[in-house]
Amino acid sequence: MQAGITKARSSYSEGNKSASFFTVYRWCLAYLKPYYGQVILFLCLGLIQAFAQIAFPKGIQFLIDDILPHKDIRRFAWVIGGLTLPVLFLIIANALQQSIGVRFQEKAAFDMQLSVFRKMRELGFSYYEKHPVGETLSLFQSEIPAIQEIHRRYFPSIIRVSILLIISLFFLISISPKLSLIFIPSFLVYMVGGPYFEKKSALSGELTSNRFRELNRKQYDSLSALLELRTLGRESWDLKRLIQSAKAASNALFLHFIHINLRGGLRRIAVYLGGTLLFIYGFYLIREGQLSLGEFVGFTLLFFRVIFDLTILLTNLTEQKVLMIRAQNLYRFMISPPDVQEAVNPVRLAQVKGQLEFDGVDFCYLAGTPLLQGFELNIHAGEKIALVGTSGGGKSTIAKLIGRFYDPNGGEIRLDGVPIRNLSLEQLRQSVGYVFQETYLFGMNIRDNIRFGNPTSTDEEIEAAAKAAYAHDFIMELPNGYETQVGERGTKLSGGQKQRIAIARMLIKNPVIVVLDEATSALDSVSETEVIRALRELTAGRTTIAIAHRLSTIVDYDRIVYMEDGQATEIGTYTELMAKRDRFYALVEGRGEE
């Protein structure tokens, strides 16, 4: 599978170029490759079913032409008994085929979901800053189900019906080549408008799905924003928006039903026309002695099966082609090269000490708009560094570069003398711990949220980390202590409580380097005091890089770096920078924090 993605990636080019239908289709079917043995068995069982279905009309033909005229009861009983065998084979083969099909189809579906999850991790942080969450979620809600539908329904059905059609047509022609010509007018009548309505029904079905997804999204927004809607008195605006979306979904569904009925009507016209011509021409051939009654009955039984399967095949091919539009979106996602790639043979440090060097680092998010220009900074192991400056100076970007959320466009960042590009991402990110302004807590209990920092930690270690983060006391005051459920994103806890849980999580992770990205800027003064105490425990003896909004929190840092236009314009202790009465001094004076 990985080889297939690598091969596809080699032909990937930026832009809106679309891969060919067959390229994407081969990629979709590649997920079935690990189960090719089951797929082959699935196809063989389809062959057995095809022969079993054909055996029954051939048996009826033999019964009418050879048994009934001679009134041979003994042979009649043998033929009737013999016809039960293909029925039995048909039932057994169909049951086995369904069982095997479900097995490899679901395994392929799971493999696809897993590969998409892995790709999401591979693309990393930069991808999610450039693409909205809804776009990524649509892969699971729309694109992946489309390909799973190909695996579960369309591919097996197309193969099964194709096998049956080929074998059935062969037998029909063997019975009467002349009568087989009846397929031509029936097929032509269907082709007049059948493919058009097939495509229309598939596209309207796609539109209906999109409209209902949009309705679901607006319903979710309406529930999530209930407080804002009521406080701003915008309930009527929201209701009007929901009604418009519901009407659009209903209209799309109505149009879809119209196209389905037109498609079905044309299909029935083709079948009935073929049946009428079959009886007219069949009567003529029987009268002329060119066709026996048994051959006509056997032909008729197969004819209606073939004409029905033929329209089903065309329907599946058309609907599958529409689904491939969504498959192409997922294909482009899967072959997208990540901005940050791990070294082929990564270096592993025997012990991470925490010395960081920024050597002429350049970086920009958008081409032609540099954010860091020749940034230079040497941070000693165990040193506490604060980054300050005006908004847009590149402080948060430095934090992202340390963990390789992005790679610099120029220059180099080294950890303990080794370029971080050469280190394994696992060791690098295990060595760096982040505490952000907004902490994400999972919808589970407090104990498991802290354990997230180190899945192997014991309950005793979790409680020790909570005590060090000054979180133990408030946790024990909660109704269920460490087993208390924090709610979605930690909504049941205050901002200060969530930050202390995050600090306990970092303590149990035990990183060598700690990055604080405005970890106290959103807190009130009481919560800030508690969190600052916890941060002192966290940063003790560790290399610390703090992006500070409240300058009073960094007075005791070893060095303060004032950043402006992507460069370190002032570096020194708090006292030294204040004595210089330059940019940092102006920043402190402007905020009234002297």
Do 163 and 239 lie in a common domain? Answer: no
Do 330 and 398 lie in a common domain? Answer: no
Residue 202's domain comprises 178-290
Helix locations, 288-444, DSSP H:
293-334, 395-402, 425-431
d(CA 431, CA 239): 50
What is the pLDDT confidence band of residue 7, given thresholds at 50, 70 and 90? very low
In a domain, 1, yes or no: no
What does the pLDDT look like over 56-89, one tens digit per residue?
Answer: 787 787 778 777 777 777 777 777 777 788 788 8
Per-residue DSSP letter, 106: H
d(CA 198, CA 200): 5
Dihedral of alpha carbons 235, 238, 243, 244, sign: positive
What does the pLDDT look like over 246-298, one tens digit per residue?
Answer: 898 888 888 888 887 887 787 788 778 888 888 888 888 888 888 888 888 88
- Residue in 15, 32, 27, 110 with CA at minimum distance from that of residue 331: 27
Mean pLDDT of 562-578: 88
Do 153 and 264 lie in a common domain? Answer: no
CB of 505 within 8 A of CB of 449? yes
Do 510 and 471 lie in a common domain? Answer: yes
- Residue in 145, 137, 157 with CA at minimum distance from that of residue 317: 157
Domain count, the chain: 3
d(CA 388, CA 555): 12
pLDDT of residue 548 exceeding 70, the answer is yes
In a domain, 101, yes or no: yes
d(CA 269, CA 180): 18
Mean pLDDT of 169-182: 86
* Pairing mode, strands 559-564 and 543-547: unpaired
Tallying the residues shown for the chain, one arrives at 594
pLDDT of residue 391 exceeding 60, the answer is yes
Q: Which residues pair with 52 in a beta bridge?
A: none
In this prediction, residue 420 carries a pLDDT of 92
What is the pLDDT confidence band of residue 8, given thresholds at 50, 70 and 90? very low
Do 161 and 254 lie in a common domain? Answer: no
Query: What does residue 52 show for φ and ψ, rounded to 5 degrees?
Result: -65, -40
- Residue in 540, 541, 537, 534 with CA at minimum distance from that of residue 519: 534
Least confident of 311-320, 337-346, 349-358, 559-568: 311-320
pLDDT of residue 380 exceeding 90, the answer is yes
At 565, the amino acid letter reads D
Do 157 and 196 lie in a common domain? Answer: no
pLDDT of residue 116 exceeding 60, the answer is yes
Q: How far, CA to CA in Å, does 306 sit from each of 60, 292, 494?
A: 17, 20, 68
pLDDT of residue 489 exceeding 80, the answer is no
What does the pLDDT look like over 43-53, one tens digit per residue?
Answer: 888 888 878 87
In a domain, 531, yes or no: yes
70 or 171, which is more confident: 171
Percent of the chain with pLDDT over 70: 93
Q: What token pair was written down for 457?
A: 């930690």
Mean pLDDT of 182-186: 81
DSSP track, 3-71 = HHHHHHHHT--SSSPPPPHHHHHHHHHGGGGGGHHHHHHHHHHHHHHHHHHHHHHHHHHHIIIIIGGGT
pLDDT of residue 594 exceeding 50, the answer is no
In a domain, 448, yes or no: yes
Strands of 372-379's sheet, edge to edge?
Answer: 372-379, 356-363, 410-415, 418-419
Which secondary-structure segment (H or E) carries 516? strand 513-517
Cα Rg for the chain, rounded, in angstroms? 35
- Three-state secondary-structure class, residue 295: helix
* Pairing mode, strands 410-415 and 356-363: antiparallel
Do 182 and 163 lie in a common domain? Answer: no
- Three-state secondary-structure class, residue 386: strand
What does the pLDDT look like over 85-113, one tens digit per residue?
Answer: 878 888 888 889 888 888 888 888 889 88
In this prediction, residue 23 carries a pLDDT of 87
Strands of 384-389's sheet, edge to edge?
Answer: 432-436, 513-517, 543-547, 384-389, 559-564, 567-572
Instruction: Classify residue 354 by burial, with Cβ atoms within 10 Å: 0-12, 13-18, 19+.
Output: buried
d(CA 331, CA 327): 6
Do 167 and 194 lie in a common domain? Answer: no
pLDDT of residue 5 exceeding 60, the answer is no
Dihedral of alpha carbons 494, 497, 503, 506, sign: negative
What is the pLDDT confidence band of residue 523, given thresholds at 50, 70 and 90? low
In this prediction, residue 412 carries a pLDDT of 93
544 or 540, which is more confident: 544
To the nearest 10 degrees (0 to 180), the angle between helices 495-509 and 525-539 is: 0
192 or 454, which is more confident: 454
In a domain, 310, yes or no: no
In a domain, 295, yes or no: no
In a domain, 511, yes or no: yes
What does the pLDDT look like over 211-249, one tens digit per residue?
Answer: 877 787 788 778 777 877 787 788 888 888 889 888 988
What does the pLDDT look like over 411-453, one tens digit per residue?
Answer: 999 999 999 999 998 899 889 988 887 778 888 899 999 998 8
In this prediction, residue 223 carries a pLDDT of 79
Query: What does residue 3 show for φ and ψ, rounded to 5 degrees?
Result: -65, -40
Candidate ranges 11-15, 128-132, 513-517; pick with highest mean pLDDT: 513-517
d(CA 204, CA 234): 33
DSSP track, 214-249 = HHHHHHHHHHHTHHHHHHTT-HHHHHHHHHHHHHHH
d(CA 592, CA 576): 18
d(CA 41, CA 400): 51
Give the mean pLDDT of the chain. Answer: 82
pLDDT of residue 11 exceeding 60, the answer is no
Report the largest interatomic distance among the alpha carbons of the chain, rounded to a whole angstrom. 122
- Residue in 552, 586, 557, 555 with CA at minimum distance from that of residue 569: 586
| CA dihedral of residues 236, 237, 242, 245 (deg, nearest 10) | 140
d(CA 274, CA 301): 13
Residue 179 burial (CB count, 10 A): 23
Q: What token pair was written down for 400?
A: 């992202």
Dihedral of alpha carbons 323, 326, 327, 328, sign: positive
* pTM score, whole prediction: 0.68
Mean pLDDT of 490-496: 81
Do 405 and 285 lie in a common domain? Answer: no
Mean pLDDT of 134-138: 70
In a domain, 393, yes or no: yes
DSSP track, 346-374 = -B--SS----EEEEEEEE-SBTTB-SEEE
d(CA 238, CA 318): 38
What is the pLDDT confidence band of residue 206, given thresholds at 50, 70 and 90? confident
CATH of the domain at 511: 3.40.50.300
CB of 519 within 8 A of CB of 531? yes
* Pairing mode, strands 559-564 and 372-379: unpaired
CATH of the domain at 168: 1.20.1560.10
Do 327 and 365 lie in a common domain? Answer: no
d(CA 483, CA 476): 10
Do 108 and 190 lie in a common domain? Answer: no
Query: What does residue 200 show for φ and ψ, rounded to 5 degrees?
Result: -60, -45
Do 501 and 573 lie in a common domain? Answer: yes
- Residue in 494, 508, 495, 403 with CA at minimum distance from that of residue 449: 508
